Amino acid sequence: MKLVAGNSNRPLAEAIAAYLQTPLTRCNVRRFADMEIFVEILENVRGEDVFILQSTSFPTNDHLMELLILVDALRRASARRITAVLPYFGYARQDRKAGPRTPISAKLVANLITRAGTDRVLTLDLHAGQIQGFFDIPTDNLFSAPALVRDIQENIKAENIAVISPDVGGVVRARAVAKRLDASLAIVDKRRERPGESEVMNVIGDVRGRTCILVDDIVDSGGTLVNAADALIEQGATDVYAYITHGVLSGGAVARITASQLKELVVTDSIMPTEAVRVSRNIRTISIASLIGEAINRTSEEKSVSSLFD
């Protein structure tokens, strides 16, 4: 087994390598003066089972091109099998036609990754489960719920907990966490007036006197979380936490969350945290290196990955 890392999230790649006790394969991923990407694999990978560790996070297009060129370099170096490990799959929110004459970009990106020569994909908390079907190669979608639940149990000692879905589309994800915590479930009903903005309309469920935990897959601008926290406090919630898998946190999201009524936002390191995230008073990062590392190990040894979540 060989581990190859792009530039998107080097600390996570090194943590996964440490978990597997396998050093990262030496490679050179750099830019020419005109920002073209150049890749050179500096070790023999002929006949090897190779895993490329690369989140397609900001700058999304650069990191996606790095991934595609790494795949091509490994294919031409006669790697036996190439698995793209995508802790965060960019373009996942474009999983359907949102209106007339619009693309389904998630399918396009899946095609690019497949056509480049990838044999299988390993990813984490896809925005929509059906994206697995966009790939014409084996695709494993891991779930961060066990890691999130473990952190909740260790750090939130409240007895009266309610798990909250910040929108109707995330109910299945929130229900899975609520079941593991043996907690009640509530939903924030919102109406989005325009992209990047959300207006909370109603809270479905009883949250009065409860410690509320918002659960979702992606936090981007932070507007949904902030509005949801305000609505929950108005309905009598005592404290509001948020547990989100992918901390995109673009634009002024960190400042918005820091100034909000959220007691704490917890994100995984599927996306490398910025300096603003690291110094924020109410944003904390937890590692999913062991989860991804174990999934890589089981994939390499042809063992069950789904049993990780039984």
For residue 216, say whether it is annotated as part of any ligand binding site: yes
How many Cβ atoms from other residues are within 10 Å of residue 63's Cβ?
22
192 is in an annotated binding site: yes
How far is Cα 73 from Cα 38, in angstroms, rounded to an integer? Answer: 10
Candidate list 2, 190, 263, 303, residue with the active-site label: 190
Residue 26 assigned as binding residue: no
250 three-class SS: coil
Q: Active-site residue 190, yes or no?
A: yes
The answer on whether 223 is annotated among ligand-binding residues is yes
Instruction: Confirm or deny that 220 is annotated as ligand binding.
Output: yes
**Beta-bridge mates of residue 27:** 41
Please state, as a whole number, how many other Cβ atoms lie within 10 Å of the Cβ of residue 212: 30
Using CA atoms, how far apart are residues 177 and 148, in angstroms rounded to an integer?
A: 8
Is 94 annotated in some ligand binding site?
yes
DSSP 182-221: T-EEEEEEEEEEETTEEEEEEEES--TT-EEEEEEEEESS
- Distance (Å, whole) CA 262 – CA 244: 13
3-state helix, strand, coil in the chain (%, to 5): 35, 30, 35
**Residues 234 and 201: beta-carbon distance below 8 Å:** no
224 is in an annotated binding site: yes
Scan for tokens 């790095």, then name that residue: 66
54 is in an annotated binding site: no
Q: Which residues are annotated as a binding site for D-ribose 5-phosphate?
A: 192, 216, 220-224
Annotated catalytic residues are 190
Q: Which residues are annotated as a binding site?
A: 34-36, 93-94, 127, 167, 192, 216, 220-224
Q: Which residues are annotated as a binding site for ATP?
A: 34-36, 93-94
Q: Which residues are annotated as a binding site for Mg(2+)?
A: 127, 167
